[in-house]
Amino acid sequence: MNSPASATQGVAYVEKLSPTITWWIVALFLSSMTAAMVYPVWPLGAIVVPVVVFALAATWLMTMGAKILVTDTHFYAGRAHIERSFITEVEPLGPAAAFQARGPQLDARAFLMIRPWVKQAVRVHINDPADPTPYWVVSTKRPAALAKALNS
């Protein structure tokens, strides 16, 4: 099994999808609100509980990040990967088209690697006889650059 860390082929594209600062601010705000809920019952808990809640939220946010990598032979989207020889077409999707691709137009057999803070995506059509997945929808901040890397 190939992994991005062991990929020795030429790298054509790399992108890291990390939560935006807005998501961190919301996590901090919501965890601080627990102090108001806990203080009447447990004054010391007004310090302990928000710290624990923020630590859990931060851990969750860090695990939500994903890496996109295109090498000479493989395409990696998060933990999933596929040989580029199975990719037939790549469509860059703007915000409106990505919304449609993730919702009303979605094929239930499709593979999704989407992140809620990234509004754009690419649709990667797959032709693998051993895999019933017709395409992947992958969130990306630079759909045209990713499509160009996959089509080259």
Residue 139 lies in a domain: yes
Counting the structural domains of the chain, the total is 2
Interacting residues of 17 by C-beta distance below 8 A, sequence separation 6+: 65, 66, 67, 68, 115, 117, 118, 139, 140, 141
* Paired residues of 8 in beta bridges: none
Residues 87 and 37 in one domain: no
Residues 59 and 76 in one domain: no
Residues 32 and 94 in one domain: no
Say if CB 71 and CB 7 are below 8 A apart. yes
Residue 118 lies in a domain: yes
Q: Rounded CA gap, 80 and 123, in Å?
A: 15
Q: What is the pTM of this model?
A: 0.86
Give the domain extent around 77.
72-151
> Is the alpha carbon torsion for 72, 78, 82, 87 positive or negative?
negative
Interacting residues of 111 by C-beta distance below 8 A, sequence separation 6+: 80, 133, 135, 136, 137
Interacting residues of 133 by C-beta distance below 8 A, sequence separation 6+: 109, 110, 111, 126
Residue 100 lies in a domain: yes
Q: What is the pLDDT along the chain (152 residues), one digit of tens a residue?
A: 455 555 457 999 999 999 999 999 999 999 999 999 999 999 999 999 999 999 999 999 999 999 999 999 999 999 999 999 999 999 999 999 999 999 999 999 999 999 999 999 999 999 999 999 999 999 999 999 999 999 98
